[in-house]
Amino acid sequence: MSRRDHSVVDEIVVRALAEDLGVPAGAFAVGFDVVREALSRDVTTAGVVPRGSVFAGRIVAREAGIVCGLLAAERVFALLAGSAGVAGGIEFEALTAEGDVVGAGDAVARVSGDAAVILAGERTALNFLMVLSGIATAAARWQKAAGPGVAVFDTRKTLPGLRALTKWAVACGGAHPHRSSLWDMVLIKDNHVRLAGGLAAAVTAAREAYPELPIEAEADTVEQAAEAASAGADVVLLDNMDAATMCRAVEAVREASAGRETRCLTEASGGVTLERVPEIVATGVDRISTSALGLAPPLDFGFDEQTA
């Protein structure tokens, strides 16, 4: 995600700020055209902090992990400064880069400037850093467990509204984003198969309708895995299989797709845990997908006043 293209990040940040300030999202327009009175909605700061106060602080990791979300945090303060009519009045200095490893106590950014802007944006900025760094940290842990020969992917099980940033965090952690949404890849599951009249029929229909898109098909049995590969699926998702069944399914897919110009890949999913990764890798699968990346616990960060 390019730091020069803020549009996707800004849209998400604006919704988060609107939620925290208790104003409609429409009160904000990406590009700093924001209601100037928005900061008065932070009644604590407005009531107890003298207007014009200046604050300087550091964002500090409270546990070890992978940093992600610095761009979102930076945009929180930039958009709030614009809303207050003090655009450029906040200095945000990143001390690490997206994807860097940090330890407990490491500072990841310095923020200084108008106290009202900083205090109003503090929690929203930390929330982005916590959630996205937690995802990046989990992604790194899973990909390390799988090793270089097996790619670990996320799923579409993400917090609503955070899909784009979740995928970015997964990549920052060294794992792989799966399809972004419903439009960029065909993924045939049980309900599709029943409605299409069978697995092979579903794969064939999808190929005819969208010849330019990759097609993945879910298989619950070894026989279904072979059927999906024979029908021309690009990836066969081996769903909720034990290691022995998965081994047979991997071999069946290889045999069914032998001679094809592009080899049919296999992906383990469902019932996948970090502890099971070594035995899953040993089955010969090409990929592992898990919702544990996009739904990972947040990494803790704090915002401390800089005293020196």
Alpha-carbon dihedral 246, 252, 255, 260, rounded to 10 degrees: -80
Record the tokens describing residue 117, joined without a space. Answer: 């802007």
Other CB atoms closer than 10 Å to residue 256's CB: what's the count?
Answer: 19
Residues carrying an active site annotation: 123, 157, 189, 218, 239
How many Å apart are CA 184 and CA 55, to the nearest integer? 45
Q: Are 296 and 65 in contact (CB under 8 A)?
A: no
Q: Are 274 and 145 in contact (CB under 8 A)?
A: yes
Record the tokens describing residue 28, joined without a space. Answer: 């904000």
218: phi then psi, degrees, rounded to nearest 5: -80, 140
Record the tokens describing residue 273, joined without a space. Answer: 């845990």
